[in-house]
């Protein structure tokens, strides 16, 4: 009886919290101007970087709360986004921000060469995935900027990853304490980071290691595109977020190494997701082995990542179904992006889920959700301009 009362009290408090804080964020169904939304999202990322005493990007913000401390993992893949923005808009200040992020990452790199899991903290623990994500940033900076600091950081991080990698390409050791260490097939995106770093720093062992991990990832894929052991928490119904990580990693390594079979594996998943998405652009936040949704909320983070994947596949194949799917998913995101909020911690940021009280990133703005949204919109703008030039 006491346990039932406790459960009832907990449910009641959750409903009250949902009602109180859920109203702080608003949709934008009447304004889907892509450029305005992109501008507001980039401005949010700038504010998140400018918060605090370092040049990392804040993890995000709870609805009604302050910006949180910087997050090394996601700052790592925000770096390439700012580089792309700088090149697209010819804005050096965006490149300067990316360089500052990269230098900060090198300052907080662990002595073993790894990147810490979680937000910046005085008692860091190494994490394979986080290290691969920051390698994406360091590789992009090293290629364009050539700073010795980034090359040194790359070599240390790659050495650590290779020492921990199993012969079959998997990483059973060194995974984040914040994730289930046995369900990390999505590490293939970290392998892509290692491969890109290997290309830039001329470390062939890193590229070979990326190939082994992509092959391991393939071994966990079902014919319908679903991945086993590919979730932060529940491998029986993985998050769209981690499924998208797997697709991104396979495409990245496939393009890097000319392995079309890796790209075909990503296509298998991407095509199933097109079939799963509804007319409005909703994709369930968790997906079961039959490739049907298991929840009634959307993982906005994963939707933005999937839009990026579809855009990339359009660039690779020219198949219009991918550009159409990207556009529909982006419209869904635009209509759930608050660009008029008076709170600068909320305006322009992207929540983890929709409704905002969904299980992923509940009632929070996340820097990586916002970053993927920016990438997805920039991808659409790039495709639109390229298509217009051809026509």
Task: Give the domain range for residue 104.
Answer: 71-219
Domain-located, residue 22 = no
Domain-located, residue 334 = yes
Residue 359 DSSP SS3: coil
Domain-located, residue 12 = no
Confidence tier at 274 by pLDDT (50, 70, 90):
very high
Q: ∠ CA 332-338-133 to the nearest 5 degrees?
A: 75
List, in sequence order, every residue forming a beta bridge with 127; answer none if it has no partner.
115
Structure tokens at 4: 């039932």
**Are residue 52 and residue 130 in the same domain, yes or no?**
no
Q: Which helix (H) or strand (E) holds 95?
A: helix 92-108
pLDDT of residue 20: 81
Q: What is the CATH number of the domain that holds 215?
A: 1.50.10.20
Cβ–Cβ under 8 Å, residues 60 and 365: yes
**Are residue 89 and residue 180 in the same domain, yes or no?**
yes
Cβ–Cβ under 8 Å, residues 134 and 170: no
CA 164 to chain centre: 23
Domain-located, residue 13 = no
**Are residue 144 and residue 183 in the same domain, yes or no?**
yes
**Are residue 242 and residue 265 in the same domain, yes or no?**
yes
**Are residue 92 and residue 153 in the same domain, yes or no?**
yes
Domain-located, residue 364 = yes
Give the predicted TM-score (pTM) of the model: 0.95
**Are residue 205 and residue 138 in the same domain, yes or no?**
yes
Domain-located, residue 90 = yes
**Are residue 39 and residue 161 in the same domain, yes or no?**
no
**Are residue 79 and residue 207 in the same domain, yes or no?**
yes
pLDDT of residue 363: 97
Domain-located, residue 231 = no
User: CA 64, CA 62: separation in Å to the nearest integer?
Assistant: 6
Per-residue pLDDT tens digits for 34-63: 999 999 999 999 999 999 999 999 999 999
Please report where in the chains the tokens 């450029």 appear, as a residue: 35
Per-residue pLDDT tens digits for 185-196: 999 999 999 999
Contacts of 126 (CB under 8 A, 6+ apart): 110, 112, 114, 115, 116, 117, 160, 174
Per-residue pLDDT tens digits for 85-104: 999 999 999 999 999 999 99
Q: 255: how many CB neighbours lie within 10 A of its CB?
A: 17
Beta-strand pair 353-354/298-299: antiparallel
**Are residue 75 and residue 47 in the same domain, yes or no?**
no
**Are residue 146 and residue 215 in the same domain, yes or no?**
yes
**Residue 14 scores a pLDDT above 80:** no
**Residue 281 scores a pLDDT above 80:** yes
pLDDT of residue 118: 96
Domain-located, residue 190 = yes
**Are residue 131 and residue 176 in the same domain, yes or no?**
yes
CB-based burial label for 165 (10 Å; 0-12, 13-18, 19+):
buried
Q: ∠ CA 363-365-370 to the nearest 5 degrees?
A: 145
Contacts of 247 (CB under 8 A, 6+ apart): 266, 269, 270, 305, 306, 309
Contacts of 147 (CB under 8 A, 6+ apart): 99, 102, 141
Confidence tier at 176 by pLDDT (50, 70, 90):
confident
CA-to-CA separations, 100 to 58, 237, 341, 371, in angstroms, rounded = 14, 38, 28, 17
Give me the chain's average pLDDT, please.
Answer: 95
Total domain count for the chain?
2
**Are residue 167 and residue 263 in the same domain, yes or no?**
no
**Residue 19 scores a pLDDT above 80:** no
Composition of the chain by helix, strand, coil, percent to 5 = 60, 5, 35
């Amino acid at each position: 009886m006491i346990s039932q009362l406790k459960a009832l009290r907990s449910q009641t408090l959750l409903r009250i919290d949902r009602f109180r804080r859920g109203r702080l964020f608003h949709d934008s169904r009447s304004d889907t101007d892509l450029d305005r939304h992109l501008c507001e999202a980039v401005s949010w990322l700038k504010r998140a970087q400018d918060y605090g005493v370092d040049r990392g990007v804040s993890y995000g913000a709870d609805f009604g709360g302050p910006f949180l401390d910087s997050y090394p993992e996601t700052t790592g893949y925000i770096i390439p986004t700012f580089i792309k923005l700088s090149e697209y808009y010819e804005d050096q200040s965006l490149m300067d921000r990316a360089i500052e992020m990269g230098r900060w990452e090198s300052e907080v790199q662990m002595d073993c060469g790894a990147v810490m899991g979680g937000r910046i903290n005085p008692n860091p623990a190494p994490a394979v995935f986080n290290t691969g994500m920051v390698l994406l940033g360091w590789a992009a900076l090293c290629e364009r900027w050539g700073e010795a600091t980034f090359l040194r950081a790359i070599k240390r991080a790659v050495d650590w990853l290779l020492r921990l990698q199993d012969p079959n390409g998997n990483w059973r050791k060194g995974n984040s304490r914040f994730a289930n260490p046995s369900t990390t097939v999505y590490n293939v995106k970290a392998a892509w980071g290692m491969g890109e770093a290997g290309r830039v720093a001329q470390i062939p062992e890193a590229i070979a290691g990326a190939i082994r991990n992509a092959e391991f990832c393939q071994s966990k894929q079902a014919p319908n595109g679903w991945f086993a052991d590919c979730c932060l928490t529940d491998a029986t119904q993985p998050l769209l977020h981690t499924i998208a990580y797997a697709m991104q990693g396979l495409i990245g390594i496939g393009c890097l190494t000319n392995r079309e079979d890796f790209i075909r594996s990503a296509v298998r998943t991407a095509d199933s997701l097109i079939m799963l998405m509804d007319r409005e652009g909703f994709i369930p936040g968790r997906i079961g082995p039959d490739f049907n949704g298991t929840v009634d909320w959307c993982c906005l983070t994963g939707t933005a990542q999937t839009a990026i994947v579809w855009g990339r596949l359009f660039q690779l194949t020219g198949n219009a179904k991918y550009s159409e799917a990207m556009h529909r998913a982006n419209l869904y995101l635009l209509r759930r992006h608050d660009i008029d909020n008076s709170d600068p911690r909320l305006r322009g940021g992207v929540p983890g889920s929709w409704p905002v009280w969904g299980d992923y990133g509940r009632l929070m703005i996340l820097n990586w959700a916002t970053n993927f949204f920016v990438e997805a919109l920039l991808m659409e703008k790039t495709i639109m301009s390229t298509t217009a030039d051809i026509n």
